Amino acid sequence: MDYQNRVGSKFGGGGPASHSATNADRRERLRKLALETIDLDKDPYIFKNHLGSFECRLCLTVHQNDGSYLAHTQGKKHQTNLARRAAREQKEGGNNDNIDPQTGLPRGVVGAGFAALGFGSSRNVFIKIGRPAYKISKVRDPMTRQNGMIFQVEYPKIKPSIEPKWQVMSAYAQKIEAPDPNYQYLIIAAEPYETIAFKIPSLSLDNRDTDRHFSFWDPDSKEYWLQVMFQTEREARFNAAPGLAPPPSTTTTTTPTPHTITAPPTTNSSLPAFPGPYKGPPIHRNNAGPPGFVPTGANAAPIPLHYNQYDRR
């Protein structure tokens, strides 16, 4: 085997360096030269995150190592941003009192979140004045046999142009009581009152019909009304598989057409005669009936039955 006529190598030398190996050696050499003149500990724009990568606070770029960051500082983007910041500081009169010397960023930005940078909104801090008065009533729809609850909350000292808000929270999202999968929490909040929560059964809420599920804020009397209806076991079962059964609101009832029963002609006189027309009690139609009769049908309006259980005033 010929070891003398091979270009650029000698026996035991490992062969000529590839293009990628040459670039890696060049980057490492430039990194060592830059570290001799640049102290990264005094650079206000470098930041090492929890993943071990390096970030440039000025340009918002991410670099895998310090050598990549040093190469970025010599690039056009970083130099342009430095010139823009210098021009802005000079335009503002050269007042550097608002600049943190350790980070090079405006004071109060580090650790303040996106609100300090102008993104989003700052958290509104207010003094709570206590819990509002409330009243809870149980309701039941005789048509759909759904149980529900009505919450009436009074906010006499609510802030102007503020409306109460509500939401349902899982038992595992709160830290006040031990989680119970059989219950959930309905939360109502309005400034400057404390946020109140009601412990309700962990059932699915019926949000299909706005007549049975609604919220109303009265700005004159400063009262907030909220009614929620729970789905029945049958509705919850069929809603898990859509298409099996229509909802109760889409079912229609038809009134049967009355028929008059007449006696057929008889040829055998020995057989008893067939009874004549029906002479029993009157048949009630069109949702009309005797006292105590519950109307049914598409035109019948639900009659909620109120049972006052809790009243705190």
182 and 221 inside one domain: yes
This prediction has a pTM of 0.41
Q: Are 139 and 206 in contact (CB under 8 A)?
A: no
Indicate whether 309 pLDDT > 60: no
Is 228 within the bounds of a domain? Answer: yes
What is the pLDDT, as a whole number, of residue 230? 86
54 and 138 inside one domain: no
Is 50 within the bounds of a domain? Answer: yes
What is the pLDDT, as a whole number, of residue 172? 87
Domains held by the chain: number: 2
What is the C-alpha to C-alpha distance for residues 162 and 160, in angstroms, rounded to an integer? 5
Is 291 within the bounds of a domain? Answer: no
138 and 99 inside one domain: no
228 and 152 inside one domain: yes
What is the pLDDT, as a whole number, of residue 55? 92
Is 63 within the bounds of a domain? Answer: yes
What is the pLDDT, as a whole number, of residue 284? 47
Domain final position from 66, 85, 117? 117
Indicate whether 260 pLDDT > 60: no
- Residue bearing the bigger pLDDT, 237 or 41: 41
pLDDT digits (tens, 9 = 90+) for 9-39: 566 666 677 788 888 888 888 778 777 777 7
pLDDT digits (tens, 9 = 90+) for 128-172: 888 889 898 888 888 878 888 889 999 988 888 888 888 888 888
Is 105 within the bounds of a domain? Answer: yes
67 and 138 inside one domain: no
231 and 137 inside one domain: yes
142 and 98 inside one domain: no
79 and 41 inside one domain: yes
What is the pLDDT, as a whole number, of residue 23? 84
What is the pLDDT, as a whole number, of residue 238? 65
Q: What is the CATH number of the domain that holds 186?
A: 2.60.40.790
Is 35 within the bounds of a domain? Answer: yes
Is 75 within the bounds of a domain? Answer: yes
Indicate whether 274 pLDDT > 50: no
pLDDT digits (tens, 9 = 90+) for 34-52: 777 777 778 888 888 888 8
141 and 214 inside one domain: yes
State which residues form the domain around 30: 25-117
Indicate whether 81 pLDDT > 50: yes
What is the pLDDT, as a whole number, of residue 107? 56
34 and 112 inside one domain: yes
64 and 88 inside one domain: yes
Is 108 within the bounds of a domain? Answer: yes
82 and 137 inside one domain: no
Domain final position from 90, 117, 144? 117
Domain final position from 117, 150, 177? 117
